[in-house]
Structure 1
Amino acid sequence: MAHVIIEWSANLEEVLDRPGLMRLIAEDMRERSDGTFPVGGIRVRAYRADDYVIADGNGPDDAFVNIEVRMGVGRSEAFRKQYFDALFTRVRDFLADLFDQRPFALSLYVAEVEGWKHNSIHKRLKG
């Protein structure tokens, strides 16, 4: 299980390649994690934040992308550090133009969570 929630400030509507960012993260989890994230459990979604205040509230071009990853427990600290350092670098590089165009903040948070799931997508992927 790896669920990724991307939150972005509405003032990025015309300049943020959301589909590209979501694909980058999903592909990275499928391909670079050595199967640590089962493909059928990967979810990546993005939501626009229409109401927000950034910093002092006086920078109309101030913008943000916040990425939250929720995953089941059990991955080692060494894996998490190595994997998410690399993922953050890939995302930062993907969004590099935004840092040059405007005041921009990028954050990535990772949380291990306990949850209950029922999923028949794994069955489709095997079949």
Structure 2
Amino acid sequence: MPHLVVLYTPNLEPQADLTALCRALCDTMLAVRDEAGRPVFPTGGTRVLAYPAAHCAVADGQGDYAFMYLNLRMAAGRTDAVKRQVGDSLLECARARLAPLFAQRPFGMTLQIDESPGQVYDGKHSTLHPLFNT
């Protein structure tokens, strides 16, 4: 963890470089530091995944509307200031990367952060973390 999942209307695919957006969002997450200057997220556990909605309806259906939903799920333990910094940084990254689309078409975007306060089960198996724990 953290996992940022991006769900979007498929009409964005021809106009947006979603692979580059994912990379930029991931790099943004990895760049955030806490009050002591430590990375907020572990490199090996930071993931951004994007999916087009198989089926969707946006607004009144009378236009070629587009929408993107970004949901960051992270473990508990970060200060409110750090959570706000993460949200502001991710929203600014997405807005900058998608600015041409906002200028061209009706397009909405929502970013939400969910914190997992007390997991019932959090099983993991990874060979990614050791690559970055040096």
TM-score, with structure 2 as normaliser = 0.86
Deviations 1:3-35 (A, max 9, x none): 011111011121011011100111111123341
Q: Which residue of the partner structure matches residue 125 of structure 1?
A: 132
Q: Which residue of the partner structure matches residue 8 of structure 2?
A: 8
Q: Is the 8 A contact 2:71 2:113 kept in 1?
A: yes
Q: Can you give the 5+ residue segments of structure 1 that lack an aligned partner in the other structure?
A: none
Q: Can you give the 5+ residue segments of structure 2 that lack an aligned partner in the other structure?
A: none
Equivalent position SS for 2:86: helix
**Pair 1:94 & 2:102 matched:** no
Give runs of ≥4 in structure 1 deviating > 4 Å.
none
Q: Which residue of the partner structure matches residue 111 of structure 1?
A: 114
TM-score, with structure 1 as normaliser = 0.91
Q: Could you tell me which amino acid in structure 2 is paired with residue 67 of structure 1?
A: L
Separation of aligned partners in 2, 1:118 and 1:75: 23
The alpha-carbon deviation at position 93 of structure 1 amounts to 1.5
The alpha-carbon deviation at position 83 of structure 1 amounts to 2.3
Separation of aligned partners in 2, 1:100 and 1:63: 12
The alpha-carbon deviation at position 81 of structure 1 amounts to 1.0
**Pair 1:31 & 2:31 matched:** yes
Separation of aligned partners in 1, 2:72 and 2:14: 25
